[in-house]
A = this chain, B = another copy of it.
């Protein structure tokens, strides 16, 4: 933690348009690629440094193109159906197979189907041969001296064959550009190190190194560098000596960002400090000892985007090949998107194939930073001049996943349960193309997603406290007029999740109030919260009696994770979540966790597979093993 002097934050100097910043970087720095000679066999994916010419011809001899006999064409001109001609072996012909060399004295091949054996030494033909018929001449495929591949060609598997055929056993390719990756930050620790509060695992470096590898470069991932100007300077100088390009990943504290800027200015030149994008603004572009250097923020999403905007072009440019473009998909927006005027917005999106069209929505806030990069199906770029995009508008999304995965994805949006992960695993085993794409937003939001056509299926456990009935009342209320199907799915035990040993000896709601336990609540609209509220009402209590009522988490697991941290805490949740975290559990109520699907989805192949799975023995066994469950999927579904 830094001193209190940090009142005056460094103001970012610029808001430079991203493309302009990139073009400046490419223009100011002349990249001089190095060349190396490598064996052809290992050259897949490498880029030719020079045009490659064949060293020999293929075939390198006149070859028979068919099985048959080699003859002198002139000897055969008399042959005619009415006047068959006899030829003598080793005098007028020899036998050849496809690919055999044609002896010098012969200049045509007659196919085996066109000759008749008279005896062991004689054959008969009834038609003449023309000179050079059925002969593959020298160089018919590749001619010595012919250009096999141009310079700047990214080698594919078939190219390796042509090179070897042309006698090229090794060839000059562009060396992989070396990219130094410098993680900086006092709070960073190597993955696998013992952790204390405040420590953050350094994983950006691994992701960067992996990107560099993907793009054809050679990553040089350094050890973590502390937030010290002298150390940072030394690291950058060393990187400039050893590598072709440098990435320096700022720690997340304000101080390190400043050091990086100052050190680069000292050692070289800063071209850009701050670009007009959200996220991703605090990027530094510059040069040290003639090598390009890019300073990226610690926030993973910003860092990954910055690498793609500025490092990727450099790596491809070094190799002299074009940056591959991502596949895009035209989709309709499921809800409106707010935008920042004056900056490009990069919005991570989920895409689903619902009711015959592709609908895209920004990732729900249920996804934290790192997982959002894993979950995003693609990214939407909103231009600087845009004031926002409307629901229903058609937009183009750059895909992060293959379109087949999106097309067949089963969108599950609602209250998360560990059993859904099991369904996903079993579905994928049956069909590699199918996957459940889960959004953990809670039961009520799940119902709304079904209504808005943003999901295929939701899992809900919503208690109507008056009717003391689960789910049905909510479906009738919120999905009136919609074509949906509700399927009974699970009975789950809800109860008090408490630290191991139940130190406060919580048994009832009154215990929670009396012992001033720190309650960990769920978000509004979550079935568990609705259950808790109904319990409060039943016991004539109000939320004011509950310390921590305003403390909201988004899933059973995160409630359990919270409780694991604090000895005096308690929450309401499912047994499997307590069990997973090694916490104790006091049963409170059984609830119904049911599925609601659109009728359209219910009738689709994906749903048929889903239903098959949840009725299967394998599934029932796996779920009941988690504890606190009873599977009721064989009950009759309700159609609306």
Contact = CB atoms under 8 A, between A and B. Distances in A.
Contacts of A384: none
Nearest to A112: B7
Nearest to A113: B9
A385 to B, nearest CB: 27
Given A7-B112, A99-B200, A150-B435, A157 B210 contact: yes
A60 interface: yes
Contacts of A144: 557, 561, 564, 580-581
Contact of A44 (B160, B210, B368): B210
Contacts of A327: 327
Contact of A433 (B9, B59, B112, B322): B322
A425 B165 contact: no
Given A1-B95, A97-B253, A160-B203, A145 B580 contact: yes
A142 B370 contact: yes
Interface in A327-349: 327
A271 interface: no
A589 interface: no
Nearest to A319: B432
Contacts of A368: 58, 140-142
Interface in A153-207: 156-162, 164-165, 167, 169, 187, 191-192, 195, 197-201, 203-204, 206-207
A547 B147 CA distance: 31
Contacts of A201: 58, 164-165, 167
Interface stretch (A509-517, A548-556, A613-621): A548-556
A59 B200 CA distance: 8
A371 B137 contact: no
A146 interface: yes
Contacts of A138: 558, 561-562, 564-565
Contact of A565 (B62, B325, B565): B62
A206 B163 CA distance: 11
A235 interface: no
A213 interface: yes
B61 A197 contact: yes
Contacts of A300: 161
Contact of A165 (B142, B147, B197, B370): B370
B432 A117 contact: no
Contact of A425 (B40, B151, B404, B553): B151
B550 A162 contact: no
A161 B204 contact: yes
Given A101-B198, A152-B432, A162 B112 contact: no
Number of copies: 2
Interface string A103-146: 00000000010000100100000000011100001111111111
B150 A424 contact: yes
A523 interface: no
Contact of A322 (B100, B137, B404, B555): B404
A159 B374 CA distance: 6
Interface of A: 1-2, 4, 6-7, 9, 40-41, 44, 50-51, 56-62, 67, 95-101, 112, 117, 120, 130-132, 137-152, 156-162, 164-165, 167, 169, 187, 191-192, 195, 197-201, 203-204, 206-207, 209-211, 213-214, 252-254, 300, 304, 317, 320-322, 324-325, 327, 368-371, 373-374, 400, 402, 404-405, 421, 424-425, 428-429, 432-433, 435-436, 548, 550-551, 553, 555, 557-558, 560-562, 564-565, 577, 580-581
14 contacts: A4-B120, A57-B561, A67-B254, A99-B252, A131-B550, A132-B551, A138-B561, A138-B565, A141-B368, A152-B432, A158-B373, A320-B429, A320-B432, A327-B327
Closest 10 CB pairs of A and B: A141-B368, A101-B197, A157-B210, A164-B203, A61-B197, A145-B580, A161-B207, A139-B561, A158-B373, A101-B198
Given A322-B433, A325-B402, 16 more contacts: A1-B95, A4-B95, A44-B210, A60-B195, A60-B197, A130-B550, A152-B432, A158-B374, A160-B203, A160-B206, A160-B207, A161-B204, A164-B203, A165-B370, A317-B432, A327-B327
